[in-house]
Chain A
Amino acid sequence: GEDVEQSLFLSVREGDSSVINCTYTDSSSTYLYWYKQEPGAGLQLLTYIFSNMDMKQDQRLTVLLNKKDKHLSLRIADTQTGDSAIYFCAERKPGGYNKLIFGAGTRLAVHP
């Protein structure tokens, strides 16, 4: 398909791990990104991974990339209430254009 796909909603208990999944469209995309959007705010870059990598870890965040299946995931360890937000997956198309295609976003709700 032509769309970057994400599940729309995820609910987790505080302290548990969250896993947000994304399927992207273009196997030649060079970079894959995760952005966070809190209410009333713009997009905050959380992390990104180059397409020749399988995994990237950054503190509580772990990104896994399965290039064969065009599947990207973001794991948030020890999820906190401050992690409640919308998380967008984006792929960067090849070429010097730096064009990003975004998914619809996954709303993460963290409850006690």
Chain B
Amino acid sequence: SAVISQKPSRDICQRGTSLTIQCQVDSQVTMMFWYRQQPGQSLTLIATANQGSEATYESGFVIDKFPISRPNLTFSTLTVSNMSPEDSSIYLCSVAGTGSDQPQHFGDGTRLSIL
């Protein structure tokens, strides 16, 4: 399976600031996703990052708060904007190949704490 690298692995940020998380894959993939895992909780899909077009956001998530870029088939970024303590979470990137039977594979995540 693809090797997925996320940067940074963790960060502590001040409220009101923004942080951009990078996701790099070692091979071209069709689909890239961004998830949030709040402390002690399960994963919630934020959006699907579409190459060459705007991301597709899930209910409850908006582009102004979580802008996403996907300039090519191996790279995506998620920005968490105007952060508040409620944004303290693990943010995970996942990828999947073409084909209905292709599972999603995850990066190690970015652990974000907002003071």
- A residues near B, CB below 8 A? 30-31, 33, 35, 40-45, 48, 50, 88, 96-100, 102-105
Contacts and interface: CB of A to CB of B under 8 A. Distances in A.
Contacts of B4: 42
Contacts of A98: 31, 33, 96, 102, 104
B103 A99 contact: no
A100 B45 contact: yes
B45 to A, nearest CB: 6
Interface in B73-99: 92, 94, 96
Nearest to A47: B103
A-B interface, 9 closest residue pairs, ranked by CB to CB distance from nearest: A42-B108, A43-B106, A42-B106, A102-B42, A102-B43, A42-B109, A104-B42, A42-B107, A48-B103
Interface string B25-37: 0000001010000
Contacts, number: 48
Nearest to A107: B40
Nearest to B31: A98
Interface of B: 1, 4, 6, 31, 33, 41-45, 48, 92, 94, 96, 100-109, 111
A100 B104 contact: yes
5 contacts: A43-B92, A45-B104, A98-B102, A99-B45, A102-B44
A10 B101 CA distance: 30
Nearest to A94: B100
Contacts of B48: 97
A102 B31 CA distance: 18
A96 B6 CA distance: 26
